[in-house]
Amino acid sequence: MKYINTPHYDHSSQAKVGVLITNLGTPDEATKPALRRYLKEFLADPRVVEVPRLIWWMVLNLVILNIRPARSAKAYQTVWTDEGSPLMIHTQHQAQALSDHLKELGHNVIVKYAMRYGNPSITNTLDEMAAEGVQRLLVLPLYPQYCGATSASTFDAIASDFTQRRWIPELRFVTHYHDDAAYIDACAEKIKAHWEDHGKANKLLFSYHGIPKRYLTNGDPYHCECYKTSRLIAEQLNLDEDEYMTTFQSRFGREEWLKPYTDETLKSFPSAGVHSVQVFCPGFSADCLETIEEIGEENREYFMEAGGKRYEYITALNAEVGHIHALSQLIERNLSGWNTKTTATENAQQLTQQRAKAMGAAQ
């Protein structure tokens, strides 16, 4: 086997620390061909769809990839911006904000982002980090609640990449942070800020991405972690049990997924006397198709058509200050012992280099 080499590596160089944040992914464009490439990579992952490979290959390639890309492209077109997909934009901003804040805290780390599916790929980003001399790597998948289809799949991609490299860095991997105090605080403060501007509704709905129920029965902790996140946020908000509810969205296929389903719950609310609802998605670290289009638009229609009077989607934490500070605290704890703090001399050298680059660019 031919390994990826690092022939120009300087063995006397100081070890650099890298932080890689990852998210699910996005197509390169809101077009049918781009969606077909993206969905093929995504749905071919055995962590995502646990079906015998031969059977699933036929279903995926002969049925799904001939039908779903066109429909998905239309959905993406409704949220696409001049800069690209919302998930890509927010993740870029998160990486930059984390880099800036960690520097303010005195950490000398290289922060980059990658997507599990699509671009920028994990492999290409690891190439960049290796070229910059990263010898110690912290990977933070931006999935607060652990799930085999997300967190473990990201680990699979990292591990698979490392099997092809001659030299691999020290590795630390954050599997979940569903009950992290700073993360819970950031979620609660986001909701409080919305209440200050709009007031409360009859019900606060916590909607999480769904997974097949059999993943739960096979031992996946995702369901339990979602409910714990909801409970902790509700406690921070001093909510009674009848004031909030946990549901699951985005199901796919015919088998049973985690219940209650978000869409069916919203359709049933008006007849049960719930005429105003606010929806927050604690499992999504950044707004994307599933929050903007599915929750913000599609499920709004279900609720209003069923007789609802007031529907509000509370946006994701994205790159807001509270979220960045929470993630920075999480990163700091997981960097412990790696000596990432810069000295005054190093800070001065970095500042001089930055000024020199700025002057060169201006000339």
Q: What is the pLDDT of residues 181-201, one digit of tens each?
A: 999 999 999 999 999 999 999
pLDDT grade for 353, boundaries at 50, 70 and 90: low
pLDDT grade for 13, boundaries at 50, 70 and 90: confident
pLDDT above 90: percentage of residues in the chain: 88
What token pair was written down for 171?
């590795």
- The string of DSSP codes covering 159-212 is HHHHTTBSS--EEEE----TT-HHHHHHHHHHHHHHHHHH---SEEEEEEE--B
pLDDT grade for 78, boundaries at 50, 70 and 90: very high
State residue 48's pLDDT score: 97
State residue 129's pLDDT score: 96
Average of pLDDT values for 19-24?
A: 98
Q: Is the pLDDT score of 107 beyond 80?
A: yes
Q: Is the pLDDT score of 362 beyond 70?
A: no
Average of pLDDT values for 136-158?
A: 98
Q: Is the pLDDT score of 268 beyond 90?
A: yes
**Rounded Cα–Cα distance for residues 266 and 51 (Å):** 31
Q: Is the pLDDT score of 345 beyond 90?
A: no
State residue 94's pLDDT score: 98
pLDDT grade for 5, boundaries at 50, 70 and 90: confident
Q: Is the pLDDT score of 344 beyond 70?
A: no
State residue 18's pLDDT score: 98
Average of pLDDT values for 307-319?
A: 98
